[in-house]
Structures are given as structure tokens and as C-alpha cells.
Amino acid sequence: MLKDLDPIAAPADAAPPDVANEVQAYLARQNGKDLLRFITCGSVDDGKSTLIGRLLYDCKCLFEDQLASLEADSGRFGTTGAGQLDLALLVDGLAAEREQGITIDVAYRFFTTDRRKFIVADTPGHEQYTRNMVTGASTADAAVLLVDARKGVLTQTRRHSTIVSLLGVRHVVLAVNKMDAVGWDRETFERIAADYRVFAQRIGITEVTCIPVSALTGDNVTTPSDAMGWYGGPTLLGHLESVDASAEEKLGSFRMAVQWVNRPNQDFRGFCGTVVGGPVRTGDDVAILPGGRTSRVARIVTMDGDLETALPGQAVTLVLADEVDASRGDMIVAAAGRPEVADQFAAHVVWMDEQPLLPGRSYLLRAGTATVGAQVTELKHAINVNTQEHAAAKHLDLNDVGFCNLALDRPIPFDAYADSRETGSFILIDRLTNATAGCGMIRFPLRRASNIHRHASKLDKAARAGSLQKPCVLWFTGLSGSGKSSVADRLEQELHRLGRRTMVLDGDNVRHGLNRDLGFTDEDRVENIRRVAEVSKLMVEAGLIVLVSFISPFREERRMARSLVEEGEFLEIFMDTPLEVCEARDPKGLYKKARAGQLPHFTGIDSAYEPPEAPEITLKGAEQTADEMVAQVIGELRRREVI
């Protein structure tokens, strides 16, 4: 039809008439292929990026213009010498990476062979970018670990293996690269392979394939090596084409986290989500967790039409037979094969934030579509990713791995990570920065939570306080010497004179008793505040006005203390006294000691103080008299009808 409008004829090499069938057949073949996601790890010196470049190049997955820009870049940044293509530059995509010749973040590349489609996540090898390697490994079916034949298995190979094992990547390939540089020597390869097998077995990697290659020359990458006739195994690509990628669902039982409730009108209510664990059929009995209500699958809705069965990996909308309530965060599961439901569990945690993980600090935990408050209640040990040794630890720093107990605000459904990546994994989010601060792999639930039952009391705090006052916490925060304790003291006397019931919790007093086991490290400060916050909560229950006078340097802990009591029951009072003034006062001589280096971790000197962002009351310790400050707080308490 187009040709009818055309003043010029189509060129003679126009497509033959059977093109539709030809393409149709090709597409059917493409669609029949499965997909393998793998990562490559190793430092740039091991030739990792070169190897990926080689795979793309040999699989004809590069276009002429990409090769042209590669030639230009090889001249500018290349390390392979004049006239040689530096295949690594194909992969390192960020300007900083090209300049520094290192990989910083994961790059995803795509290629296809006659047998399979591949997504390669090229992951950084440097320890400081471990979190980015973890990102790549979390979705990989296989891992290709590169070692330099001249150096053998190094610390970093062991580190990468540990991460790969933790993240549950099932197939590991040890590619012994740069065989050209060791004269294609069989003994060298076999020694490295034997070394590695012993190590891999020790850390629980069961399936290892070792292949001698040269990314530079291409030997054993996609074509068998003539130089290494002694090697009888598959090429790297040949192996990746045959690795079993389908054994993904160990679980066998259906689960679906509810992402979104679909309600176009009164007559339709569907629950949207992605099927994991096992197939779901219409008529199946299901339970909605954590609540536990049960129903039956009435319809499996898609835009193309309803399904009889949905397979793991499919995104569907389920309509249930009963008017049961379910919302985002709930999980619909096979009634006969349910996951665990608990509010405490043990898990491996990889920490990915500059701010260390502190036990007792509250984070947001995302598992499936549920978001709950969570804290590490016990850091059992840290794992040295280089040596695999376990060591006691008080906190986890960036890129550290630990084995921990976690407690959540409410129970969630989950499986062990070993059984299901999708329902056994979680991330931890920093409440203040919103950063993805850590990730975790659940090992097993902890049952102790279910044996503690809260005693329901007949009297509540309003009854205990009578008409006298509204119980609350007055939380004084500020530097040492800012005047917290003296103002709190004066304020309590004034409240007492007005006939109110009060209690003062002072940093020094509490540290002599309840908290005498705690020091001044960041993790101990967090625990110190947690205990004080819990005690002040009990005192609010008792009907008291509680005056808490603690440096409490971290916003996160003050926020946690606030969250323990009800809205309006927590008044943050910021003693805004400049450091110079506090240091000049130095009532206990502490600043002098700190400056002399005798008091490590002293707030304001070598430990940070995070001022409140929106305190209910700010007192200017250097400008106001004590009486003025007391009067200001009393006025605010009257305005808020606390007294």
C-alpha cells in the first residue's frame, strides 16, 4: 500500500516474500530460549572486564559504531598497548571508572547464543565496593570468579566466594585467567583448582567448575584452546550454556506478597502480586498472613484473559472467593504449605552504609511488600569475609557481614533464605536518610517472642495520674555542661511546688545503677538511651511527669524514645548552649580531660552531637537565666495542658 503512494520504486534488494515466516520462526526460537543471569567477580587486574568484552565480541554482540568508539577509547584510556583493543573499556561505563581503570558499580550486559540468553552483571572487585557486588549477586544464578594464573587464589577470591555463598548463588565457575602468561601450564592450573575446591567445600559451595582461560587471546572462552590440549572440559561459554538455570524453586508451595489492591469499582477487588514458590490454580485453598484468614482462589486475572494456573515468576491479580481483607504487606500463601510467621528471627546481615549498624537502633525492614520497624537485638558474631573466621563484634561497619538476631514491631511471614530467595530476604533502611543500609538472609525464626504475654492492667495511666496532670516525658538533650541537669532540677522543684508528681532521670544517676555495665562507645550509648527510654515509658504509665536529662547525641535514639510513648506525650527540650560556653564552664572537668585525650568518645570533641531538627522547646543556655528557662517550660506545659 505504501508503494502505491510512492513516486520512486523500492530498491531491488527488497526483502523476499517469505520474510514473515522466516522471522516468525526465528522469534519462536528466541522465545524458546531460557535466561541465565550470572555475575563476574575479580579485580580489573584479573581481566574480568576484558573477559566480558571478549564474550560480547566473540558472540557478535557488538555493533560497528560501538567498536569504533572502543577503538577511540582504547587510544585514550587503554592499557593493552598501541593498536590493541582494550575490551575492558566496553564494560566500565562511568567516567570515573574509565579514568581510574577500576569497576565501581555493577554493569549489566546482554548477549545471546544459539542456546541461551544471558544477563551478565559485572561486579566490582575492590573491598570498598562490596555492597555493589552484593547487588549483582542477589539476582544471579551463577558466578564466574576470576583468578590470575600467576597469583592463584587470593584473599579477594575468598571474599567473593563468601559473598556468593551467602547470597545463595548455586553455580560457581573458577576461571583461571592469563594462562598465556604461565605458558599454558597444566600443573599451575591444577594446583589452583585443587586449592580452590578445598576452600569452596569449606564454605558450603557445592558446585564448582574450574576452567583455564585467556581472556586476552580468547582461549577456552568461547572456543576450545589449541594451546591447552590437555584440558578436556567445556569452554567457559559452553559451560554457561549448559548450567541448569531452572532449579530455581526449591520451595514448592505458592506464595504471593500483595503489592497493590485493585479496586476499579464496587464489584471487583483483586490482589496484585508476583507468584513465587510454586504454581497457583483456581480453586486452591489459600491463607492470608500474618492474619491467618483463609479463602479460595476464585479467579486469576490478567489483561489477556483469566488463567487456570499461574506459574512462579508471573505477575497476576487474584480474586478470592470470600470477602476477606488483605492489603499491601500481607502474603497470600498455599493453605497447606505455609511459611513461618514470627516477629523475631536469626539472619545473616551484610551492612552497606557508612553509618555502622548498631544493635538496639531502630531501622525499617522491607521483606516482600511488608515494611516494619526492626532492630538487631543481638549481634552474635561478625564474619571476616577474607578469612571466614567468626569474631565477636559490637557493631557492623560498611561491608561487614554479621550473624544477628532481629526483633520486629510485628510478625511477618517468611521462609528460610536457603528455601526461597524471594521470601527469605530483606533489606534494612535507615529511618533518617532513607538509604538502603543493609540486607539480610533469614536463617530461622526465634520462638521466644511467643512465650511472653503482656499483662493487661485494669488501671491505665490516665487513672493513675488523676486530674492532676497529663503524664509525659520532658526530654532534655544537649552537650555536657549545657545546663540540662540544673534546669531540670529547678523545673522539678517548681512543678513540685505546683503540686505535680514528677521524677528525674539523670545521665549520671542512671549510669551508676541500671546502666553501670555500659561504656561510652556508640553502641553502648544507643543501649543506654534505649533503657532510659523504656524506663521513662513505664513512669509515664505510672502517671508521672518524667524529666529526662541525657546528652542523647543521636537523633535516631531520641526518635526511638519518642516512638515509645503516645503522640503529645514526648516533649524534646533542646539545651542550645554553644560548645565554647559548655567547655568554658566545664563543671566536672570533663572537657579538659577529653582535650587531653584521656576521655575518648566525648560528645562535642571526638564524638558527634546531632542537634534536634524540630524540638518542642529550645532553651538558649548561654543567653537565658535559669529562672527564665524554667518559666518558658512551665508556660509551654500550660499551653499544652500538661499541667
> And the C-alpha cell for 358?
548498631
Is 309 a binder of another protein (CB under 8 A)? yes
Residue 431, C-beta contacts closer than 8 angstroms, at least 6 positions apart? 362, 363, 364, 556, 559
Q: Does 19 bind another protein (CB under 8 A)?
A: yes
Is the distance from CB of 146 to CB of 40 less than 8 angstroms?
A: yes
Number of residues that bind another protein (CB under 8 A): 98
- Could you give the CA distance from residue 505 to residue 549 in angstroms, rounded to a whole number? 6
Binding status of residue 606 toward another protein by CB under 8 A: no
Q: Which of 176, 213, 416, 439 binds another protein (CB under 8 A)?
A: 439
177 binding another protein? (CB under 8 A): no
* Interaction of residue 32 with another protein, rule CB under 8 A: yes
Site string for another protein, 267-286 (x = CB under 8 A): -x-x-xxx----x-------
CA distance 416 to 277: 12
Site string for another protein, 521-550 (x = CB under 8 A): ------------------------------
Least gap, CB of 273 to another protein (angstroms) = 8
| Rg, the chain, Cα only | 32
CB of 130 to another protein, least distance (A): 10
100 contacts 18 by C-beta, under 8 angstroms? no
Distance between CA atoms of residues 549 and 133, nearest Å: 44
Q: Does 170 bind another protein (CB under 8 A)?
A: no
For helices 522-541 and 555-564, angle between their N-to-C axes, nearest 10 degrees: 20
- The dihedral built from the CA positions of residue 422, 423, 427 and 431, taken in this order, carries a sign that is positive
Instruction: Of 299, 283, 300, 371, give the one whose Cα is nearest residue 335.
Output: 283
Q: Residue 451, interface with another protein (CB under 8 A)?
A: no
Cα-based angle 492, 569, 622 (whole degrees, multiple of 5): 50
Rounded Cα distance, 472 and 571, in Å:
8
10 binds another protein (CB under 8 A): yes
Strand partners, 439: 350, 427
Interface mask (CB under 8 A) for another protein, residues 82-101, using x and -?
--------x-xxxxx-x---
CB nearer to another protein: give 302 or 377: 302
Nearest approach, Cβ of residue 425 and another protein (Å)? 5
Q: Which is nearer to another protein, 367 or 630 (by Cβ)?
A: 367
Taking CB under 8 A as the rule, does residue 408 contact another protein?
no
Examine residue 303 and tell whether it contacts another protein (CB under 8 A): yes
**What is the crossing angle of helices 155-166 and 186-202, to 10°?**
40
3-class secondary structure, 219? strand
Residue 2 interacts with another protein (CB under 8 A)?
Answer: yes
The three cell numbers of residue 143 are: 558466578
Q: Please report whether residue 462 would count as binding another protein according to CB under 8 A.
A: no
Q: Is 467 a catalytic residue?
A: no
306 lines the binding site for another protein (CB under 8 A) = yes
Which of 84, 292, 296, 311 binds another protein (CB under 8 A)? It is: 311
Q: Going residue by residue from 108 to 137, which x/- string records binding to another protein, judged by CB under 8 A? A: xxx-x----x-x-----------xx-xx--
Tell which residue, 197, 205, 194, has the closest CA to residue 143.
Answer: 205
Residue with Cβ nearer another protein (107 or 174): 107
Strand order in the sheet with 617-619: 502-506, 545-549, 472-477, 570-575, 617-619
The nearer residue to another protein, 150 or 263, going by C-beta atoms, is: 263
| Chain position carrying cell 509525659 | 472
Q: How far is the CB of 69 from another protein (least distance, A)?
A: 8
Mapped to the 3 state alphabet, what secondary structure does 383-400 carry? ECCCCCCEECCCCECCCC
Query: What is the footprint of another protein within residues 37-76 (CB under 8 A)?
Result: 63-66, 69, 72-73, 76
| Annotated active-site residue in 138, 165, 295, 552 | 552
Which residues between 470 and 499 bind another protein (CB under 8 A)? none
Counting every residue written for the chain, the total comes to 643
506: β partners: 549
Stretch that binds another protein, among 388-396, 426-434, 461-469, 489-497 (CB under 8 A): 426-434
Distance CA 58, CA 50 (A): 12
Positions 240 through 269 that interact with another protein (CB under 8 A)? 246, 259-260, 262-264, 268
Q: How far is the CB of 420 from another protein (least distance, A)?
A: 10
Q: Which residues are catalytic?
A: 552
